[in-house]
Every structure is written in C-alpha cells, then in structure tokens.
C-alpha cells in the first residue's frame, strides 16, 4: 500500500513529530527489559564478544532523556531526530551517539 495525497481522499501516513508520553514510557520499559536480559546473561557466566559490547552500552537509568528519545542524524536540522522516525527502531540498539552529540 502506497501513501497517497489527502486531496485524492487517500491514506496519508502521518508520523507525529514527537513521542507521546505513552510511547515514551513504552520505550523506557523496552530499554529496561533489554538491560534485564543483558544482566541475566552476564550473571549466567557466558562469555562472548556480543556480551562484551552490550556491557559497554549505557543502562536506561544512566541515559540522558535526549538520548533515549532522539538519535543523531546528519541530515536533520539540529542534527537530531525522533527515535520513532527510524525504521524498525524498536529492534535496534540506538543507545550510543557519535562523540559530541
């Protein structure tokens, strides 16, 4: 299905410019669940490169709100865009930004 113009009385895909409080709460809960999984794997004694990379990521409570809800984007004004504008953002680890952002 393709997005069509409103003037043609078709479907228009709209993405809000900021996250709603409910979607923010869901994003924080998702980050906490990922932190819990990483901690469970660490406590099990398993050693692997993926776990080492995951342990270097900041935890949800350590992240600045700006980093929880936005990501670096070289093409956006102000170099940031809402995390919900990223395709498949619920499946990606978007916790680390370039230095200075």
The answer to whether residues 32 and 60 touch, using CB atoms and an 8 Å cutoff, is: yes
Domain region containing 38: 21-85
Residue 96 in any domain: the answer is no
Residue 50 in any domain: the answer is yes
Residues 27-57: b if buried by 16+ CB within 10 A, e if exposed: bbeebeebbeebeebeeeeeeeeeeeebeeb
pLDDT by residue, tens only, the chain of 101 residues: 555 565 666 666 778 888 999 999 999 999 999 999 999 999 999 999 999 999 999 999 999 999 999 999 999 999 999 999 999 999 999 999 888 87
Write down the pLDDT at residue 8.
Answer: 63
Residue 3 in any domain: the answer is no
Residue 55 in any domain: the answer is yes
In whole angstroms, give the CA distance from residue 52 to residue 42. Answer: 9
Residue 5 in any domain: the answer is no
- Structural domain count, the chain: 1
Residue 64 dihedral angles phi and psi, to the nearest 5°:
-75, 145
Residue 9 in any domain: the answer is no
Residue 10 in any domain: the answer is no
Residue 77 in any domain: the answer is yes
Write down the pLDDT at residue 101.
Answer: 77
Tokens matching residue 13:
């895909």
């Amino acid at each position: 299905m393709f997005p069509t113009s409103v003037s043609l009385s078709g479907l228009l895909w709209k993405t809000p410019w900021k996250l709603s409080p409910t979607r923010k709460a869901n994003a924080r809960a998702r980050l906490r669940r990922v932190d819990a999984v990483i901690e469970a794997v660490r406590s099990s004694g398993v050693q692997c490169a993926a776990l080492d990379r995951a342990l270097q990521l900041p935890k949800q409570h350590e992240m600045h709100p700006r980093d929880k809800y936005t990501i670096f984007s070289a093409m956006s004004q102000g170099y940031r865009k809402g995390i919900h504008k990223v395709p498949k953002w619920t499946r990606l680890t978007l916790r680390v930004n370039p230095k200075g952002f």
